[in-house]
A and B are shown apart, each in its own frame.
Chain A
Amino acid sequence: MAPTDVQLIQRVRADETGEAMRALYRAYAGELYGFALNALGERGAAEEVVQEVFTRAWRHAATYDQRRGSVRTWLYQIARHAIIDARRRASVRPSLALHEPGDTDAGEASPTIEQAMLGWQVVAALEKLTPEHRQVIRLAHFQGLSMREIAERCDLPVGTVKSRTWYALRSLRLVLEEMGVR
């Protein structure tokens, strides 16, 4: 059985092979990168944050307390601090144009931890849909195409695209409910 996040964090300090850290990294680096990139708007800075999060997590693994939240939430909290530090560094290196708090509603533009975590669960839910369902949601929602435009592009009757959209959204809602998202 795969070790839990809590077990991984508990063994990470003593694990000289690095496998526990690798497992944590593979589980969470993707979404933390998305979180950091959204907050900072610059890939290099977001990469540094991801690296910082996992090295800090390793250094402070002993301070993780599972009564206060999941490992995932803890890593996001570390990321938030690392993002604040990155912004601070950028403000003394003005050549790096990162989103600044205080810039035109940038505070609203960077997602909160809760929004980012929720957003990532929706990404994971979309991955569980069939390719057809995922495609119709991508075209209709993310690319803003109308049913008629999707029908033309995919060479399908409009009625088929409509019912596929309906089934796709129902499946998505179901998967999200199973993940505890409402």
Chain B
Amino acid sequence: MTGCDHVRPDIGAYVLGGLEPAEEAAVREHLATCSECAAEHASLAGLPRLLALAAPMAEAGPPPAAIEERVLDAIAGELPQQPPRAPRRRLPRARVLVPAAVALVAVVVALVIALGGGDEPTPGFKVALRPAAGETGSGRAVLASADAGITMQLWVRGLPRDPGIVYEVMCDAPGWSASAGTFRVDSHGRAHVVLNTAARRGEYDAIRVVRRSRSSETDVLQAKL
């Protein structure tokens, strides 16, 4: 048992290979004769192997933040109604109707599932956006308070699309207005974007989506809070 107190704290360094050659030899010698220290060594001896597995994972670091939004964008792109695929086979009418009816039910169910998430408790405050007078389209927003203001997830559909058009989201208060950013819509007039605005909860009472082109500026969607 002699030397245990002296050797014991060296066991950690020994396991990691951090001792000088003479110290290392002394520890090795002691471990051969002291079962208690040998047990202590055995309990730590597997750690370098585990640490070696950690190294490449730790080195990778986190993925760029943009990937998270790309994932959500990709999913949002698949979420809305996709045109049902009509059966192509040439079959007598009656036999086509059954699969068509099944397909229709499937589409309706899918839409109900896709749109019926309102039952889920979700963090954030949901708002429906309605078309302004003479406009088309619709939208939804989920608002979450952040330190810097409000983070807004916005889904829109049915908006006019033109290469010269961008849309801007405004948070309005009487006599005051803050932009939450701009976006474009896809070829179906849809978009799913995450925007930020400096406006804080309670500081604005309406959300407005404005269509901007080179020559004009028109309100297209709006919501009163």
Convert B21-61 into 0s and 1s, putting 1 for each residue whose CB lies closer than 8 angstroms to a CB of A: 00000000000000000000001101110110111111110
Known: A16-B79, A16-B115, A122-B50. A47 touches B64 (CB 8 A): yes
Which residues on A sit within 8 Å (CB–CB) of B48?
141
Q: Which of A9-68 contact B (CB under 8 A)?
A: 11, 13-19, 21-22, 25-26, 29-31, 33-35, 37-38, 46-47, 50-51, 54-55, 58-59
B10 touches A33 (CB 8 A): no
Which residues on A sit within 8 Å (CB–CB) of B13?
140, 147, 161-162, 165-166
Contact of A162 among B12, B59, B70, B120 (CB under 8 A): B12
Q: Nearest residue in A to B123 (C-beta to C-beta)?
A: A19
State the CA gap A13–B58 with chains docked (Å): 31
Is B67 an interface position by the 8 A CB rule? Answer: yes
Is B9 an interface position by the 8 A CB rule? Answer: yes
Known: A37-B60, A166-B13. A147 touches B78 (CB 8 A): no
Which residues on A sit within 8 Å (CB–CB) of B155?
16
Is A111 an interface position by the 8 A CB rule? Answer: yes
Which residues on B sit within 8 Å (CB–CB) of A176?
50
Within the complex, the shortest CB–CB distance from A4 to chain B, in Å, comes to 15
State the CA gap A59–B16 with chains docked (Å): 45
Known: A55-B75, A168-B12. A123 touches B18 (CB 8 A): no
B115 touches A115 (CB 8 A): no
Is A72 an interface position by the 8 A CB rule? Answer: no
Within the complex, the shortest CB–CB distance from B187 to chain A, in Å, comes to 20
User: Which range contains the number of B residues in contact with the other chain?
Assistant: 35 or more
Contact of B18 among A54, A58, A140 (CB under 8 A): A140
Which residues on B sit within 8 Å (CB–CB) of A168?
12
A34 touches B60 (CB 8 A): yes
State the CA gap A18–B193 with chains docked (Å): 11
Within the complex, the shortest CB–CB distance from A173 to chain B, in Å, comes to 6
Is A169 an interface position by the 8 A CB rule? Answer: yes
Which residues on A sit within 8 Å (CB–CB) of B19?
146-147
Which residues on B sit within 8 Å (CB–CB) of A54?
71, 75
Convert B82-93 into 0s and 1s, putting 1 for each residue whose CB lies closer than 8 angstroms to a CB of A: 000000000000
State the CA gap A18–B70 with chains docked (Å): 12
State the CA gap A19–B144 with chains docked (Å): 11
Q: For chain A, what secondary structure do more than half of its interface residues adopt (helix, strand, loop), or is it mixed?
A: helix
Is A74 an interface position by the 8 A CB rule? Answer: no
Known: A31-B57, A142-B51. A170 touches B44 (CB 8 A): yes
Contact of B63 among A33, A137, A140, A163 (CB under 8 A): A33
Q: Nearest residue in B to A26 (C-beta to C-beta)?
A: B68
A55 touches B74 (CB 8 A): yes
State the CA gap A38–B61 with chains docked (Å): 11
Contact of A169 among B15, B70, B113 (CB under 8 A): B15
A14 touches B67 (CB 8 A): no
Is B215 an interface position by the 8 A CB rule? Answer: no
Q: Which of A142-182 contact B (CB under 8 A)?
A: 142, 144-148, 150, 159, 161-163, 165-170, 172-173, 176, 181-182
B53 touches A165 (CB 8 A): no
Q: Nearest residue in A to B12 (C-beta to C-beta)?
A: A166
Q: Nearest residue in B to A13 (C-beta to C-beta)?
A: B113
List residues of B whose CB falls within 8 A of some A CB: 8-13, 15-20, 43-44, 46-48, 50-51, 53-60, 62-64, 67-68, 70-72, 74-76, 78-79, 113-117, 120, 122-124, 126, 140, 142, 153, 155
Beyond A38-B56, A55-B75, A170-B12, 8 additional contacts (C-beta under 8 Å) are A21-B72, A54-B75, A58-B78, A59-B78, A144-B17, A162-B9, A165-B18, A168-B12
